[in-house]
Structure 1
Amino acid sequence: MLTVHHLRISQSERIVWLCEELGLDYELKLYTRRSDNNLAPDEYKALHPMGIAPVITDSDLVLGESGAICEYIDRKYGNARLSPGPESPDFAGHLFWFHFSNATFMTNGMMALVARQLGGDEMPGFVADRMAKGWQLADARLAETPFFGGQNLTTADIMMGFNLTTSRMFGGADLAPYPHIAAYLKRIGERPAYRRAMEKCEPGMEPKLD
């Protein structure tokens, strides 16, 4: 049985959304962050040596890392229908945004978060520059295509979605300068699978779509 272990207000919401888009039969287990430090509880940390979200279990398999989990689920259970193949004109674009999501875009945000937590009066210039370029690049992509993955929703959108929505609860860009991202999030918020996913993994929380 495929089980998604979701730490509340974390990137593991991606995996719930993916399962809903694929129409899979899966078990969802919710974990609440600790009240003293806002980190994962001990029972979540015990799931995987890294002790961070996301994590899935599938029979005897324990798997972490958003990208690896998305590829595993889409290939094993979704017949790779959310991953354009080499014959698709969207192949290269999909790959770029799938990997850019955590390798660069989220890394920029994490650097900014650490800078704020260290109490600096201003964000280091190179961090601010990297963040601005990332948001500008994302907005430019969505000016050209309806989805990060191209003409259709792919796992690249599953990966990027968290960065543009729930992640901003920890601090992030105002959407006003990015009209194409704002329009994209409106479209995502209208998807039945996304609404089901957020209702299941974050009950009582309004998705951060604007």
Structure 2
Amino acid sequence: MQGLLEELNIKYEIVPYLRDSVTFLAPPELKSIHPLGKSPVIEDDGLIIAESGAITEYLIDKYGDKQFAPVRGSKEYVEYSQWLHFAESSAILPLLLKMFVAKDGCKTNFLGDYADIETAKVIQFFDQSLQGKRYLVSEQLTGADIMMSFIAELVQNNGELDKYKNIATYLEQLATHPAFIRANEIELKAEAKV
């Protein structure tokens, strides 16, 4: 989210909440912001908004000044919307399943293999969709790229970026954005304070 906030050039404050290292759950204090204690969550003009996709859409609609999203009703907007939601639906689920299976450390009868197969399928689709492109939609940075950057970073964190040339190139290109660099620096500083 910080990358988008930086791209939008709006003032914001980060309040970091670290997950429990054993349970991997958000701290109870986060429930004072949102009943589920989930993150990310933003507060803007008295509104509490959870879910990355909803936050992305809200920020772009309110502060984007007709940037970071194609024109509503266009073919590009449909493609944009699909990628925006793909990140938190089709893409993240198998990656999370893989992470949970690995964290659990038990042999599974079904789940481990399912997560591996679905992860490969989803990430290959993402990689192929980036063939010959700098961005996912309209050759410009959009909220879809903001959302899918999380998936690209997970591929990198899992040590699998060398298998996906287009995702690697995409992530390198996103990292050239000054807002992306600032967001990473701000995040590191915020984490150091906690």
Fold conserved between structures, TM > 0.5: yes
Question: Does 2:151 align with 1:163?
Answer: yes
**Equivalent-residue separation in structure 1 for 2:29 and 2:72 (angstroms):** 41
The two structures have a TM-score, normalised by structure 1, of 0.80
What is the RMSD computed on CA atoms of the aligned residues? Answer: 2.2
Shift of 1:39: 3.0
Structure holding more helix per residue: 2
Question: Does 2:74 align with 1:84?
Answer: no
The two structures have a TM-score, normalised by structure 2, of 0.86
Name the SS for the 1:101 alignment partner. Answer: helix
Name the SS for the 1:203 alignment partner. Answer: helix
* Contact 2:69 2:142 (C-alpha < 8 Å) held by counterparts: yes
Name the SS for the 2:14 alignment partner. Answer: strand
Corresponding residue to 1:186 among 151, 172, 186: 172
Structure 1 residues 1-210: aligned runs within 5 Å: 15-86=1-72, 88-121=74-107, 124-165=112-153, 169=157, 172=158, 174-203=160-189
Shift of 1:108: 1.1
Equivalenced residues, count: 189
Structure 2: any 5+ residue segments left out of the alignment?
none
Q: Deviations over 1:94-136 (max 9, x none)?
A: 1221111011100111111222233234663222111001111
Structure holding more strand per residue: 1
Q: Which amino acid aligns with 1:131?
A: T
Q: Which amino acid aligns with 2:13?
A: E
Instruction: Pick which of 123-132 and 185-194 moved more.
Output: 123-132
**Equivalent-residue separation in structure 2 for 1:138 and 1:51 (angstroms):** 30
Q: Which amino acid aligns with 1:46?
A: S
Shift of 1:17: 0.9
Q: Deviations over 1:18-58 (max 9, x none)?
A: 11011112222222333554432222232101111011011
Name the SS for the 1:117 alignment partner. Answer: helix
Label 1:35 to 1:176 Cα distance change in 2 as closer, same or farther (>3 A).
closer
* Contact 1:66 1:159 (C-alpha < 8 Å) held by counterparts: yes
Q: Percent identity?
A: 33
Shift of 1:167: 7.2
